[in-house]
Structures are given as C-alpha cells and as structure tokens.
Amino acid sequence: MALLADFGTTWTKLIDTETGKTSIERSSVIDIHADLATGNNARTRSQASVNELIALYEGGLTSIKEKDFIIVDIGSRDLKYIKVVGERVEQMDWSTSCGTLTGFTLELLAGYFNIDYNTLEPSNRVDPITCGLLGIERLFERLANGTSIGEAVAAFTRSIALNAYHFIGRPEKFYLSGGMCENRLFISSFSDNVEVIPLGRFVLLDGVIKEYERRLKKK
C-alpha cells in the first residue's frame, strides 16, 4: 500500500494504491506525507520524488495511444510541455518566468470578479502579452475604459492561451493536462484550427504511478 501524490502549487492530487481511490485537495491545507510524489512540494512532502517533466512524459504515454504527440500541462504557476516523436522525447520546455501567466491568475480573477469561466464566450481580441502582470494591468485599463468584465477577462484568457500556443511551437493539435482542462473559456480561446484534447488533472499522477511500479519491479 502506498500513497502517491502530485503536489501542485494550489491543488494536490492523491491516490491510495491499495484502494485505488483518488482525490484532489487544496495544497495549503493538506497535511500528508507521500511515498512517492511529483510537484512543487514533492521534496519536502514525500519519501522520494519524481521530476515533473518525467512524470508528464510517463503520464502522457499512459493516456495517449499515438506515438507522436504534444502534451502540455498548465498548472497554477507554470507551463510544461513535451513533444514526443516515436515515443521518445524530441523537445521539452518548462516556463520558469512570471508565475502570474498561468492558472493561479485565472483563479484569482474568478474569485475577484465572481465569475464562472464556463459561462463566458471567448474573445476575438488577439492581444499578446509579455508578462502576466502587464496583462492584468491592461485588463484593468480596459475595465476603466468601459469594457465589460466578461470581455476583459475573456481577452486576458485568450492572451494566456496565445502565449501558451506560441510557447509550445504552434502545433495543430495538442493534449492538455491540468486544471485548465476544466476551464471551457481557456480551451475555446485557441483558434478553431487548433485541436485541443483535454486529459484531465491526473496525468502527472499517472506518471508517478508508472514510476512507482517501475521502482517496485527493480527491488
């Protein structure tokens, strides 16, 4: 029996290998120690840790049947992607700059404006932003100039989507992992000719499971 985890910045995804039960808890309130984990807090909260990019790769191989694919994980404060060709990693990257350019900011805005992203329509604006802080500044400028909250937030969301799209090399199709899978506005902010396939929030945890099984076999 083992407790495996993906300790995200905001949300922790857990699995008990004995019961198979999974859960999602707020990282700030949870007080557990895992046997094997990935994520921002894995080193301090588990016996052993798995590199997040490796967890993403292994989790991607579990969920995706194609030999060639791009998988992107967008979490609270960062963006990771892997391009796999013939089941081998051809390219990878992990944005380390400006944590406000990701899920944390969208969650913050949802709370601040009391909005549900799944009820908003995507914006038509194409407005690249170099930094999440500058993007928020522009959002409030728009509000001050009379733009509705829904349109301003939708425009900001589209900017984040555009940045992510450029960061991963502008593919025609990619798989999405992480909390953004539940944000209909974010997914529909990509152009119509881009196919986005959400995989849910447990991809990295699937990668941890695979790594756990591999380590068990080695023993």
Partner 1 sequence: MGKKKLKVGFVGCPPEDILAPYREHRLIDLDNHYPAVRRESQQKLPATTCAIVKRIYDNALAFKPDILIFDQGYGKCDPARMVSLLLKEELGMPVIGTDNTSMAGKGTPVSDSSLPLRKKVEIILDDLVKPRRRTVHPEKAPKAGIWGVPASDFSLYDLFPDGTKIYGWLRCLENRTPADLDLECMVDPEIPVVFFSQAFCHKNILAKHLAKKYNGLYFDLEENISGTIRAKVEAFLRFRGVV
Indicate which single residue of 23, 47, 91, 130 sits in contact with partner 1 (rule: CB under 8 A).
91
Q: Name residues whose C-beta falls within 8 Å of residue 3's C-beta, 6 or more positions apart in sequence.
A: 14, 15, 16, 17, 32, 33, 34, 35
Indicate which single residue of 2, 17, 62, 93 sits in contact with partner 1 (rule: CB under 8 A).
93
Q: Give the residue among 197, 192, 189 at the shortest CA–CA distance from 126.
A: 189
- Which is closer to partner 1, CB of 36 or CB of 154? 36
Which 165-204 residues touch partner 1, going by CB under 8 A? none
- Which is closer to partner 1, CB of 23 or CB of 47? 47
Q: Which among 50-58, 142-150, 160-168, 209-217 is the span making contact with partner 1, rule CB under 8 A?
A: 50-58
Q: Does 92 bind partner 1 (CB under 8 A)?
A: yes
Strand, helix or coil for residue 49 = strand
Q: Which among 46-54, 67-75, 188-196, 198-206 is the span making contact with partner 1, rule CB under 8 A?
A: 46-54
How many residues bind partner 1 (CB under 8 A)? The answer is 17
* Backbone torsions φ then ψ of 101, nearest 5 degrees: -90, 25
209 Rama class: left (phi>0) / alpha (psi -120 to 50) / beta: alpha
